Amino acid sequence: MLSPAETEALLLSLRVAAVAVAAALPFAFATALLLARARFPGKLLLDAIIHLPLVLPPVALGFLLLAVLGTRAGLGAFLADHFGIRLVFRWTGAALASAILTFPFQVRAIRLVLEARGQGLNAAAASLGAGPWDRLFSITLPLAGPGILAGAITAFAASLGEFGAIITFVSSIPGETRTLPLAIYSALQQPGGEAEAMRLAGLSILLALFFMALAQGVSRRWAR
């Protein structure tokens, strides 16, 4: 059984991951489509930038977000003063950090599916008079379905385990930004908190296994 604080951390983790994946998905699809179907100067550089969060230390990304979106200067001060938007020390900031870190998972999954399918169907549809939007919704999106689902589920699972960028950008505030990984860390800082940390770690492992298995199962079923 989970305590109220542990349940709160679990629900917050699920909300942060869901918002992160949903917000990033349209951009991930557009980016994957661009990389899979278009040829343009700087394509390799764009590809490298998109995958940079996979190799960049999460703490470094969190610090960059704090420097840019902090309320004392820069873009963060502008958003707070003119629009009342504040991301630092908010759960929405945690969702933003998770979205950036898991964005490459979605792009890569969708891109691989689009490249595997080729452009023969699109070319045939164009020769029969189908417009760009018609081809997008009747051919490209259905073909990209397995990649979209697999990428979204994988990104969701990765978001549940994000720690470094979140704690650096939005800190660990109970009920606001303390997700499961941050709750584990907080438990370890307290005397006698090993049992709570072990319980939360086990829950994190179960969630990760469930969503990774779900991603594989959905992808295979859709392909069949």
- Domain enclosing residue 171, as ranges: 4-115+143-223
Count of residues making up the chain: 224
For position 142, what pLDDT does the model report?
Answer: 82
Residue type, 198: M
Q: Which pair of tokens denotes residue 168?
A: 């650096």
In a domain, 128, yes or no: no
CA pair distance 146, 149, nearest whole angstrom: 5
For position 39, what pLDDT does the model report?
Answer: 86
Instruction: List the one residue out of 36, 28, 9 whose CA is nearest residue 201.
Output: 9
CA pair distance 1, 75, nearest whole angstrom: 43
- Higher pLDDT among residues 123 and 83, named by residue: 83
Residue type, 178: R
In a domain, 134, yes or no: no
Region 136-142 average pLDDT? 79
In a domain, 167, yes or no: yes
- Rounded to a whole number of angstroms, the CA Rg of the chain reads 20
Q: What percent of the chain has pLDDT over 90?
A: 54
Q: Assess whether pLDDT exceeds 70 at residue 222.
A: no
CA pair distance 29, 18, nearest whole angstrom: 17
Region 151-162 average pLDDT? 92
Handedness of CA 204, 3, 186, 77 (dihedral sign): positive
Domain harbouring 109, CATH code: 1.10.3720.10
In a domain, 126, yes or no: no
CA pair distance 69, 48, nearest whole angstrom: 23
Region 45-74 average pLDDT? 90
| pLDDT digits 0-9 by tens, 12-59 | 999 999 999 999 999 999 999 899 888 889 899 999 999 999 999 999
pLDDT confidence tier of residue 10, bands split at 50, 70 and 90 = very high
In a domain, 133, yes or no: no
- Higher pLDDT among residues 154 and 126, named by residue: 154
Residue type, 15: R
Count up the domains in the chain and report the number: 1
For position 119, what pLDDT does the model report?
Answer: 66
The mean pLDDT of the chain is 88
In a domain, 9, yes or no: yes
Q: What percent of the chain has pLDDT over 70?
A: 96
In a domain, 174, yes or no: yes
Region 207-215 average pLDDT? 87
Instruction: List the one residue out of 79, 70, 87 whose CA is nearest residue 23.
Output: 87
Q: Assess whether pLDDT exceeds 80 at residue 6.
A: yes
- Higher pLDDT among residues 224 and 181, named by residue: 181
In a domain, 80, yes or no: yes
Residue type, 113: V
CA pair distance 196, 6, nearest whole angstrom: 9
pLDDT confidence tier of residue 68, bands split at 50, 70 and 90 = very high
Torsion angle, CA of 81/87/88/94, rounded to 10 degrees?
Answer: 180
For position 46, what pLDDT does the model report?
Answer: 92
Instruction: List the one residue out of 55, 56, 54, 35 whose CA is nearest residue 44.
Output: 35
Q: Assess whether pLDDT exceeds 70 at residue 118.
A: no
CB 182 within 8 A of CB 9: yes
